Structure 1
Amino acid sequence: MEQLTTIIFFIVLVSVIVAILSIRYTVRLRRYLEEFIYVSKKISNKEFQSRLNLSVQGELGELAKNFNEMIEIMDSTISEVEYSHLQMTSILKSISHGILAIDIDGNIMLINEEAKRMLKCDCDKPIEGTNASILINEEKLLKEIVSFKGSKKNKRKEIRINDDLVYKISLDPIYLQNINNIIIGSIINIQDITEKVRLENMRSDFVANVSHELKTPLTSISGFIETLKLNENIDQYTRNRFLDIIESESNRLKRLIDDILLLSFIENKDNVLVDSVCIYEVFMEVYDMTSYIAKSKNIKLTYEFSDKSIRVFSNRDYIKQVFLNLIDNAIKYTPENKDVHINVGIKQNSIVISVKDEGVGIPEEDIDRIFERFYRVDKARSRDVGGTGLGLAITKHIIKYLGGSINVKSELEKGSEFIVTIPQKNFL
């Protein structure tokens, strides 16, 4: 009996010890699980700096160690992805062209701000992941993008949106990495080439106009020389008249070439010599040069300076050319017995030069074009008065070099006023 009691006591004791150990282990395990849950929640909230802080051995300790290492790898990987995304976003933002990538179904994968502007995207809606046909409001570009979807061929095209806007669109397929026959989408590059097209058209027009302007006097000179060579018995009066025409056409060619060279020199402004230039002194040189022409037409040429000491930091010949072109034009296109007035003053920290005449005036539809090379409102009259068609183009380039502006007020048969504004940064 005593032996049975001992056995029972031993069994109860072992059971109690096992129960205590089990309870203790369960409590510890629960605490560890709570720690796991707490840290995992922080990780799910992107708090990747969180770590399991458990002092435990065995398999549970190995699990805690592996969990912490997994967090570190996730943190490092996500940081790399975020940095790569930041780089890509910065690159896209810095590109001056519009960049758009769409998947095989036409959904937008990425797009930069310039592309949003060019494509007139509805930015109130989510961009990435939305179908391009829903977001893009520029119909001509959308038509090209949709038609290219899924194509394996590259495509280049110039699209004229309107009279003032030309885009060059490049469409290229996007292939799955290392697999050349699986297309996952398209990349679209949109470039605004309006200015380039405008300059190409100007260059083409310039070459055509120069050829025409040179051909006319050269044909005249050649014809009269041929006539003189073939007719030795021409009377002295006729011979001298022909020679006068040859001389006049030669002078016209010289003026034209001089103006072309001057315009080229102004446009290539890398080696321009600048100095302190007194506006009044330069004006008086031009006044002395043009006053006799005004007197020959009985035109009253007057001027007014609010400050004769005004100086600018510029090329002296540039300032002289501005005065010469504007005053010479005013005299040429003003009838006899009329007035031309020049006013120079300072207004709102800018030098303002006004040349006002009582001439034939300029039609309203021509005012925006008179600064184009070789553009003439009245071609026949311009040639009669000796114009090359480059004077106002030269003037505009000089004013642009000075950072200023030139405006025109005109009314037919009542006269014109050219107003030049030179900003304060050129003052001395």
Structure 2
Amino acid sequence: MYGEYLKEPIGSIYFFIMFATLSSAILMFRYAVTLRRFLKSFMKISQKVSDGELHSRIQTSASGELGQLARNFNYMMETMENTIEEVEYKHLQLTSVLKSISHGILVIDIDGNIILINDEARKMIKSSCPGEEEGKNIKQIINEMQILTGIKKYIGTRGSNSNDLYLEDETVYKLKIDPVYLQNSKNAIIGSIINIEDITEIIKLENMRKDFVANVSHELKTPLTSINGFVETLIMNENIEVDKRNRFLAIIQKEADRLKRLIEDILLLSSIESKSSIIAEKIRVFDVFKEVYEMVSYITIDKQIDILYNFENEDIFIEGNSDYLKQLFLNLVDNAIKYTAPEGTVEINQYTTNDNVVIEVIDNGVGIPKEDISKIFQRFYRVDKARSRAVGGTGLGLAITKHIVNSLKGTIRVESELNKGSKFIVVLPKKIS
């Protein structure tokens, strides 16, 4: 009786233990399944992240520690994605700024390895591997030796350094190197920023300015010295003969006229170069030429020169400044007359080709030596200085003509042979009505 009574609670205990064990096994199995599913999901998401899909997130209904882990992971990925987007945006901004800079920009570390470079710098240094410079040393990349030497000279130095580099092809670069310091430190240099600026045109313009000032000074000094000398002679000799006095006064007047022409040409050249007060208008080319023709006709009669013209179409128009076009015709026709011997011929032709107006001024005069043809449009350049001054030239006529043609968006060239004559060919865009 007692044994039966004892067996009953023992059986209950066994049943409870078995039930608890089975429940634990079931819970552990479910947890294992949930954990396995979570790990598979985690591995899948981590693979996507490794492949660059930073927007991927763990989707799970798990609670407790797994749920907390999933939330922490998703928050971490969101923060990382935002940070990377911000970095990429700033990199894009920096790249855009570098591309828009007209100078060559190069950033290197203290060992000369390239950190940043823009397209302009790639061209200037003649990069040996365009687009793949970052991380490589400047010695491997820079093929312009003067630039390489200039950079190596100042790597790691304190303060800014600059130098003008004159290359063999007559290009001039200004090389400026500034040190890059470690943040919040004025002693630890970690690299350099290199600015390469093409100053070829600036140097050319500066040289032209210096030459222009020197030439103007010389051209003004000569007639002024002559005028001053004759005036002093007249003042000091009150009883000078009338014929001699008149001859001196004629020379003074001639030199004064030369000064006036020179100053007028300088002012005109300055006005054209500065493009001030230019009013574009529709111009009938033949009308402007006829004005010039009438102005020079008395000279051709006096010199017994035939001036012929042939206009393919007298109703051709261009757009520009009529005074400039008049000056262009006057300079070319007047030059042709001046340098053509008596009983010679000057011919003006006009025709159209495509959308352009072509004007030719042809003479059978003294011509231009082959070696001087490329220089005749320079200011104050004279093929024969004595002859130019004798015929009243200032040395600026063809320079003015060249600038006028440029202002009319055209081109000018010359064909000439010594002692046989010259042909000036002007091409201007036709006004399309």
| TM-score normalised by structure 2 residue count | 0.96
- The match for 2:80 among 71, 74, 78 is 74
Verify: 1:146 aligned to 2:152, yes or no.
Answer: yes
Structure 1 stretches of 4+ with a deviation exceeding 4 A read: 3-6
Contact 1:97/1:190, CA 8 A, preserved across alignment = yes
Cα distance between partner residues in 1 of 2:82 and 2:276: 51
What amino acid sits opposite 1:249 in the alignment?
A: E
Q: Partner residue of 1:384? A: 390
Query: Deviation digits for residues 105-152 of structure 1, max 9, x if unmatched?
Result: 100000000000011001257210000011110000010111111111
Deviation at 1:271, TM superposition (A): 2.1
Contact 1:356/1:415, CA 8 A, preserved across alignment = yes
Verify: 1:10 aligned to 2:16, yes or no.
Answer: yes
- The match for 1:59 among 61, 65, 72 is 65
Contact 2:319/2:408, CA 8 A, preserved across alignment = no
- The match for 1:393 among 399, 424, 428 is 399
Q: Partner residue of 1:283? A: 289
Secondary structure of 1:321 counterpart: helix
Verify: 1:317 aligned to 2:340, yes or no.
Answer: no
**Percent same amino acid at aligned positions?**
56
Query: Deviation digits for residues 241-295 of structure 1, max 9, x if unmatched?
Result: 1111111001101111111111112122242233332211111111111122222
Cα distance between partner residues in 1 of 2:432 and 2:246: 52
Q: Partner residue of 1:364? A: 370
What amino acid sits opposite 1:356 in the alignment?
A: I
Q: Partner residue of 1:299? A: 305
Cα distance between partner residues in 1 of 2:328 and 2:98: 44
Cα distance between partner residues in 2 of 1:289 and 1:43: 85
Q: Partner residue of 1:50? A: 56
Q: Partner residue of 1:351? A: 357
- The match for 1:404 among 401, 405, 410 is 410
Contact 1:361/1:413, CA 8 A, preserved across alignment = yes
Question: Where does 1:33-44 land on structure 2 (aligned, <5 Å)?
Answer: 33-44=39-50
Cα distance between partner residues in 2 of 1:103 and 1:40: 35
Secondary structure of 1:153 counterpart: coil
Cα distance between partner residues in 1 of 2:15 and 2:329: 125
- The match for 2:176 among 143, 164, 170 is 170
Cα distance between partner residues in 2 of 1:273 and 1:79: 53
Q: Partner residue of 1:26? A: 32
Cα distance between partner residues in 2 of 1:332 and 1:209: 23
- The match for 1:195 among 201, 204, 216 is 201
Cα distance between partner residues in 1 of 2:169 and 2:227: 41
Question: What are structure 2's unaligned runs of at least 5 residues?
Answer: none
Cα distance between partner residues in 1 of 2:204 and 2:371: 20
Q: Partner residue of 1:105? A: 111
Deviation at 1:7, TM superposition (A): 3.7
Cα distance between partner residues in 2 of 1:408 and 1:126: 47
Deviation at 1:308, TM superposition (A): 0.7
Verify: 1:271 aligned to 2:271, yes or no.
Answer: no
| TM-score normalised by structure 1 residue count | 0.97
Secondary structure of 2:178 counterpart: strand
Deviation at 1:6, TM superposition (A): 4.3
Verify: 1:211 aligned to 2:221, yes or no.
Answer: no
Cα distance between partner residues in 2 of 1:276 and 1:14: 106
Secondary structure of 2:409 counterpart: coil
Contact 2:122/2:130, CA 8 A, preserved across alignment = no
Query: Deviation digits for residues 14-66 of structure 1, max 9, x if unmatched?
Result: 22222121111101111011111111111111112211111122121111111
- The match for 1:246 among 245, 252, 257 is 252
User: Cα gap change, 1:329/1:90 in structure 2, threshold over 3 Å: closer, same or farther?
Assistant: same
